[in-house]
Each structure stands twice: as structure tokens, then as C-alpha cells.
Amino acid sequence: MEKRVALYQTNIDTEYYRKKILKNELKIITKYPPKTWDLSRNFDGGTGLGFNSLTSRSCHFNLLKWFGTKSIRKCIREKYNHYTNKQNKSIYVQCWANVMRYGEKIKPHSHDDLLPSIERVSGHIVVYADTLTNTYYENNPVQNINGQLTLFPSNLVHWTDTYLGNSERITIAFDIKTYEDWKYEVFDAAKSHWVKL
């Protein structure tokens, strides 16, 4: 499969989600450990954001289960359909938020080390950034624009600039799996964290 990155401008209410994520950030960090699904080791998703980050709790909450996230669910489903040309397949989504502050950056990582598949997709929505930032997909920079949704193969290595804004850089990130991939690749104990769309 060709490794391609697709950009979509959305009309989601970014200010609404910005407030919602910041309101819940400390609650999630306090409630959940920075651990893998099975609690066997420390985890920050390979991002380098550290064990005090919201990202390090991504295994233990799904933003799509929050009240008021219908627009994000709809947006992910529509853009996945367009990206894969798979209209009627059930998909399962694990979704979390990343909050970065001045001087932080996400180091090179991928969400999947399996062979590329048009159906195994990851993405993120830029909720807020108050200065110019880029996400790099194997050395190709993509400017982060508030409200923009990016889809890419889950095994594609990506990273960010160092964030130099005065406020937070907030994104909503997600992994998408087909029913077959969800059934066979996701630990049984973790299956309930994924949301079916």
C-alpha cells in the first residue's frame, strides 16, 4: 500500500473540545496510571512526552465515550470512508487527546509495526495551536491547522516540531481498526475501550 497522508478540513467546534479536554486533563492523569493496557510497564506511546502527560494515559480512556463527542465520531467515520473507500465496514476506534505545552515535542514513533494496510489507519484532529507547528510524516511536514483532520497508515513514522506557543497545543488522536483487526490484534481486556462506528 502506498504510504499516503490525507488532510481534511472539518467544521467541528474546536473551542468546545479545547475546553472539554483541558477540563478533564488533570482528572484523567490523576485517575489512571501511565501504563500499558496490562499495567506491565510504563508507557507514553513512544512520544517522549513522559509519564506525567495525558498521552501516557491513552490506553485507559477513550475520548469518544465522553458526552458530546457525536461530531467527532461522525467526522472520523466519514473521513475513513473517503480515505479507504470502504463504506459499510464496521470499524473500531481508540481515541485520546494530547496536550503539549511550551518546549514539548513528540518524538518519532508509529502506532503499529505491522505491514501497511489501507484499512489500518491512524489520525489526529488539531484542536488548538496558537503558533505555527508542523507534524512530520517520514520527513514530509504538514502544518497544523485548527480543525484539520489528518489520516495516515498506522505504521507511518511521525513526529512534531518543538511547541513554542504561549498556550497549549491540543490534538485528538485515534487509531482505527476493522472488526477483524480489532478481534485478533487487541487484547481481550482492552477491547471494551474501543468504540464501534
Over residues 92-130, the pLDDT tens digits come to: 999 999 999 999 999 999 998 765 566 789 999 999 999
Tell me whether residue 58 is in a domain.
yes
pTM of the model: 0.94
Tell me whether residue 138 is in a domain.
yes
Tell me whether residue 193 is in a domain.
no
> What is the total count of domains within the chain?
1
- Residue-wise pLDDT for 187-197, tens only, equals 888 899 999 99
Tell me whether residue 197 is in a domain.
no
What pLDDT is stored for residue 113 in this prediction?
A: 74
pLDDT at residue 52 tops 90:
yes
What pLDDT is stored for residue 87 in this prediction?
A: 78
pLDDT at residue 3 tops 80:
no
Tell me whether residue 81 is in a domain.
yes
Tell me whether residue 171 is in a domain.
yes
121, 135, 116: which is closest to 182 by C-alpha?
Answer: 121
137 three-class SS: strand
Tell me whether residue 140 is in a domain.
yes
- Residue-wise pLDDT for 84-97, tens only, equals 988 788 999 999 99
pLDDT at residue 38 tops 80:
yes
Distance CA 97, CA 34 (A): 14
* Domain CATH number, residue 80: 2.60.120.620
pLDDT at residue 181 tops 80:
yes
Range of the domain at 75: 6-186
pLDDT at residue 2 tops 80:
no
CA 16, 103, 76, 151 torsion-angle sign:
positive
Tell me whether residue 1 is in a domain.
no
